[in-house]
Amino acid sequence: MAQIRLKNLSKRWDSFVGVDNFNLDIADQEFLVLLGPSGCGKTTTMRMIAGLETVTEGEIWLGDKMVNRLEPKDRDISMVFQSYGLYPNMSVYENIRFPLRVRKVPRDQHDERVMRAAEMVELTDFLDRRPAALSGGQRQRVALARAIVREPNAFLMDEPLSNLDAKLRVSTRAQIKNLHHTLKTTTIYVTHDQIEAMTLADRVVVMNKGVVQQVGTPTEIYDNPANTFVAGFIGSPAMNLVPGEISQGTFTAKNIKVAGFDPELSGKVTLGFRAEDAAMNEGEGEITAPIYSIELLGDATMISMRVAGELVSVKTAKDFRAEIGDSVSATIPTEICHLFDSETGARITARGALTRTAS
């Protein structure tokens, strides 16, 4: 049983708050991703779970045991770091085997467990090599195999793909996804890359400045961001966010007018919509503005326009033809739009939730 529970977890250094009142239940066999920009507290949270950082306040439970005072070696957790941490004087086989020696696992089990772990990450042809003779992707797979061979209750992975090039990140990401499906071990994965989070996670925890912004499945977070921070962080490109005013059910700002919202809402708001949910329009649309840039993506074309002082992206067909500076129109269906409070950044969901008038 590898359920992990974090209760009122905080980490402070004097007046600096690294993690603030983190509460979460992580289910057995769940793949949870901690996502956010550098300095948001995600790695600090993981290090507290591992026992590498002391807890200022709160409790960490692994199964039915509170582990705040346990040494890292007694928590039965394997970690995979951004730096591979391999022993250069040892072969791949001995690097993978090393945790078994440290934990005094009977020697007659070593070969079987090392070979099984190596096979999972496709390293059986490289067991006699030293780390210096491996590529970056192969070294990361050695680090994964070394974590797997322990057969721990949980894996903690701290940005394990950040040192790899784009092609290797894609293939190694697929390997990690398949490993989790095979091993069914609780996994906490730290990254600042929202594509990794969306493709790997059962649930994502979005963090900023030590505070949890939203917890949900990748689909929930993508489709229903809790605030403008999450909306602007998730997605490639991120959600378009346009400041403006709403009155009698109509949002207006420079070069944009969208009708059909709750008529009881009034005041300053931020309108959000995804590039793929809008469409270029030959007639009149909700947006009319000159083209700022055109990017051919291969399967589509990304059009950028400046709206209310913000760059807004619209994804359109790959055969779309226009020039920078041309005036174009885009359609934004009201049902795909999101409204956020301009002061707090929070998502507006309740009828009449916003009543402040524009100043």
Over the stretch 162-189, which tens digit does the pLDDT of each residue have?
A: 878 888 888 889 889 998 999 999 999 9
Q: What is the mean pLDDT of residues 73-102?
A: 89
Does pLDDT of 104 surpass 70?
Answer: yes
Q: Alpha helices of the chain — where are they, by DSSP H?
A: 42-50, 92-102, 110-120, 136-148, 166-183, 194-200, 218-223, 228-233
Instruction: Specify the pLDDT at position 1.
Output: 53
Please give the average per-residue pLDDT across 212-222, as a whole number: 97
Predicted confidence (pLDDT) at residue 327 exceeds the cutoff of 90: yes
Residue 315 confidence (pLDDT) above 90: yes
The Cα–Cα gap between 320 and 193 comes to: 30
Per-residue model confidence (pLDDT) at position 358: 40
The pLDDT value recorded for residue 116 is 92
308's tokens:
């209310």
Q: Which domains does the chain have, with CATH numbers?
A: 4-228 (3.40.50.300), 237-341 (2.40.50.140)
Three-class SS state of 298: coil
Give the pLDDT band (50/70/90) at residue 210: very high
Q: What is the mean pLDDT of residues 129-140?
A: 90
Is the pLDDT at 62 greater than 90? The verdict is yes
Can you tell me the mean pLDDT for 130-139? 90
Residue 134: count other Cβ atoms within 10 Å of its Cβ.
18
Copy the structure tokens of residue 55: 């807890």
Residue 314's Cβ-side half-sphere holds a number of Cα atoms within 13 Å equal to 25
Average pLDDT over residues 344-358: 63
Q: Report yes or no: 158 and 43 within 8 Å, Cβ to Cβ.
A: yes
- Residue 101, both tokens: 């020696």
Q: Does 351 score more than 90 pLDDT? A: no
pLDDT greater at residue 349 or residue 210:
210
Quote the percentage of the chain above a pLDDT of 90. 77
272-301: average pLDDT: 94
**Separation CA 243–CA 237 (nearest Å):** 18
pLDDT in tens, 224-271: 999 999 999 999 899 999 999 999 999 999 999 999 999 989 999 999
Res 111 pLDDT > 50: yes
